[in-house]
Structure 1
Amino acid sequence: MRDLGEPEVEADVWSDWLLHGRHGRDLDYEPIMLAAVAKIRDRVLDGAKLISGMTLLDVGAGDGLLSFEALRRVEQPFSVILSDVSAPLLKRAEHLATDLGLRAHCSFIQTPAQTLAAIADESVDVVTSRAMLAYVEDKPSAIRSFLRVLKPGGRLSLGEPIHQDAAVQLTALTRVLRSEPENSKTPYLSLLQRWRGLQMPSTSAEIRSNPLTNFSERDLVQLFRDAGFANVHMELHMDVKSGPAMPWSTFIEIAPQPGVPCLREIFEHHFTAAEVALLESGMRADVESGRLTGQNTNVYLTAEKLC
């Protein structure tokens, strides 16, 4: 694992995950992760139908992944507003924009998606977002804000992960294990349930209360219709495949979501040494050989604000 220098920024839960947690702090694995994210970025920007002369609002811009690619794609004049709730990420994005020679075409606004404060009504041509709305508790307010800032005839394009199915499956496993006598439970499955239950909702009540899991792809379509968007188009993409081979030390450092403990932290605080050994013996070979299978579910949604 290499430790390369990077611009110094103060951390919050969002910046710590985006800059470190999602790739397990392994700078050799980071390009592999970023290549997968770039495919999502490109689909979102393809749906935006960007042309010269537009102003793009990138909501939940993070470190500028969508914004900077949009600026590379489109001839000037073209400008981007990067908005995010995280001040550290906006600061990092501004540093990157300067390094890339794009600063003159960018503005940076710290604001929650629910209000998009300081962004004027009917002031942007396109709204984009990637993996942001899933974390917003008040999704209807955020979607109404998207509509408010769009000019008549404006367009929205976003990509969002859908986690409800995975949470429902975990809930089913939780229910089965709780109904079994203690001496009949499969130890390995029990460890899997405990691990995953510390990273995502594992009961029906938790699913309903968690903004990451309390909506489906159909719910998302209805939310945009209810807000007043027209020509709503949604594509659901489900990929079940083996993940890339990686060191076990990297795998246990990866946090699946911001603010969620990685497996190493779960081992340290919630598992005995014997339990750690059992789970590792059942998974490590598959992780390091690239045989560990998982499912990724993403929604790509476009919509328009009528004139």
Structure 2
Amino acid sequence: MTPDKWAQWLLSRRDGDDADLRARHAADLAAFRDGVLDRAALAADDVLLDVGCGTGLIGFGALDRLGPDGRVVFSDISPDVLDVCRRTADGDGRCRFVVAPADDLAGIADASVDVVTTRSVLIYSERKADAFAEFFRVLRPGGRISLFEPVNGFAARLRPDDLFGTGDSPVNDLIAKVGDVYRGTTGEATRPMTDFDERDLLDWAVTAGFEAVELDYRAQIDVPAGPVGDWETLKRAAPNPLVPTYGEAVAAALTVDERERLDAYMTALVAAGTPTRRTMASAFLRARRPHRER
């Protein structure tokens, strides 16, 4: 059976099923994991609920920090990625697995966990405020949330056509056409990824009832980054689970001659080791459910 779109992306389409590109992503993922877990202030016997767990980046990182009495509940909308987590857990009795979206954690009892974590999960939800309400519901009094979210609207507003971080180039016209594929054919599906910013995260946390709300925001504009890497590999990758790969978008947007021109330019960049530029914004947020209800 073919894995669902979430599992396909996490296991292969995110990095073009390429070990080198996967390794390049690993440092960023480790930093996100550690940022979330550091802010979670785990105690040895905590019960942690990792919402939108994916293949277990946060959850298994938490197990390494918890003691023998600590537990992790892995929840995700995708049964296929939960199967991946089960195999990784290999019978570890500290693990539990629940199929649930972030905005409806029906399988989790009220006031039953000490910590809720997420990483790049709310960007896929159309009901983000409901998700915060669910986080509040499942936490015990004094429990904490710790989350990381990219603020994708930042780059979409400032650099809408800089898909590959190449900046101004002779193929701007071609890259803009490729960008039109994502805006035109996938715009509604990906709208939740760009329809909020860091101020909304704060508002949703406060409205849900959390206190001691702290947000660490980071924005980068045209910051030097690594080179493109292998162009053919990048074309096999997709920027998120809901959209075509870059190669599929190129094929849909460009004529044969245009594809050859784009390929020639990007291949030359790779050969020269030309650095790319990064424009992005992200936020870590942590907060606490009050010990006593107001």
**Superposition TM-score, scaled by structure 2 size:** 0.89
Amino acid at match of 1:161: P
Q: CA deviation at 1:33?
A: 1.3
Amino acid at match of 1:222: D
Amino acid at match of 2:22: E
Q: 2:105: which partner in 1?
A: 116
Moved more, 272-281 or 214-223: 272-281
Q: 2:284: which partner in 1?
A: 300
1:144 corresponds to 2:133:
yes
Structure 1 unmatched ranges of 5 or more: 1-8, 174-185
Q: 1:16: which partner in 2?
A: 8
Structure 2 unmatched ranges of 5 or more: 163-168
Q: Name which of 245, 266, 273 aligns with 1:262.
A: 245
Q: Alignment partner of 1:242: what SS?
A: strand
1:159 corresponds to 2:143:
no
C-alpha spacing 1:166/1:235, structure 2 compared with 1 (3 Å): same
Q: 1:129: which partner in 2?
A: 118
Instruction: Indicate the RMSD between aligned Cα atoms, in angstroms.
Output: 2.4
Q: How does 1:195-274 map to 2 (within 5 A)?
A: 195-200=178-183, 210-239=191-220, 240-274=223-257
Q: Is the 8 A contact 1:55 1:80 kept in 2?
A: yes
Q: Deviations over 1:244-276 (max 9, x none)?
A: 552111111121111211121122232111111
Distance in 2 between the 1:82 and 1:10 partners?
22
C-alpha spacing 1:153/1:271, structure 2 compared with 1 (3 Å): same
Distance in 2 between the 1:119 and 1:271 partners?
48
Q: Is the 8 A contact 1:191 1:279 kept in 2?
A: yes
Q: Is the 8 A contact 1:241 1:295 kept in 2?
A: no
Q: Deviations over 1:138-177 (max 9, x none)?
A: 111111000000000000000111110222235699xxxx
Q: Alignment partner of 1:258: what SS?
A: coil
1:48 corresponds to 2:40:
yes
Q: Alignment partner of 1:28: what SS?
A: helix
Q: 1:285: which partner in 2?
A: 268
Q: CA deviation at 1:60?
A: 0.3
Q: 1:79: which partner in 2?
A: 71
Amino acid at match of 2:157: V
C-alpha spacing 1:87/1:209, structure 2 compared with 1 (3 Å): closer
Q: Deviations over 1:10-47 (max 9, x none)?
A: 41111111111111111232122122211111100000
Q: 1:37: which partner in 2?
A: 29
Distance in 2 between the 1:207 and 1:86 partners?
21
Q: Alignment partner of 1:299: what SS?
A: strand
Q: Alignment partner of 1:254: what SS?
A: coil
Q: 2:165: which partner in 1?
A: none
Q: Is the 8 A contact 2:14 2:237 kept in 1?
A: yes
Q: Name which of 31, 51, 59 aligns with 2:51.
A: 59
